[in-house]
Structure 1
């Protein structure tokens, strides 16, 4: 690999980091975060399935406010609301 290819590789890595929101490569903050694949595996082990839907803007704001106050986050807050609405786990 020549010098041009090495520099090109660095540029690709930098561009990818910028696309990912400017996260530092191999920084201390990255060590504490779980990457997406690991998170997907953990969610699958818990039996969680991604579910997307379109909701009214006002309803989403209310859900976000409730999720911020809930210790389990959005997922647990929504699950709790659905169970209260009569759905079973």
Structure 2
């Protein structure tokens, strides 16, 4: 084995160790995000169903502003608004 091949193998080994290292907690290593399958399972257990809808941008902006003003999520706001609209 040539010296250059040996150095190349060392570099590959080092890069493998760096890529496999766990990121520090300040880079979100402490709070792992849920994967999609786990999130769907939790949503299904809570009785939630995905309902994609296409809306105009001004309406989306108004919904986001109202949700932020009331300190609730957009999902909760839309759920409340639709429930009230269907009752009356």
Task: With the length of structure 2 as denominator, give the TM-score of the two structures.
Answer: 0.61
Aligned length: 75
* Residue range with higher mean Cα deviation, 56-65 or 45-54: 45-54
Residue in structure 1 matched with residue 74 of structure 2 by the alignment:
74
1:25 paired residue number = 23
Aligned to 1:81, what secondary structure does the other structure show? helix
The equivalent of 2:43 in structure 1 is 43
For structure 2, the residue ranges without an aligned partner over 5 or more in a row are 1-8
- Selected match of 1:7 from 10, 15, 25: 15
Q: Deviations over 1:27-76 (max 9, x none)?
A: 15443454234433221110112221211111000010111123431111
Determine the structure 1 residue equivalent to 2:57: 57
What is the rounded CA distance, in whole Å, between the counterparts of 1:56 and 1:69 in structure 2? 20
Structure 1 runs not aligned, ≥5 long = 14-23
Q: Where do 4+ consecutive residues of structure 1 move more than 4 Å?
A: none
Q: CA RMSD in A?
A: 2.9
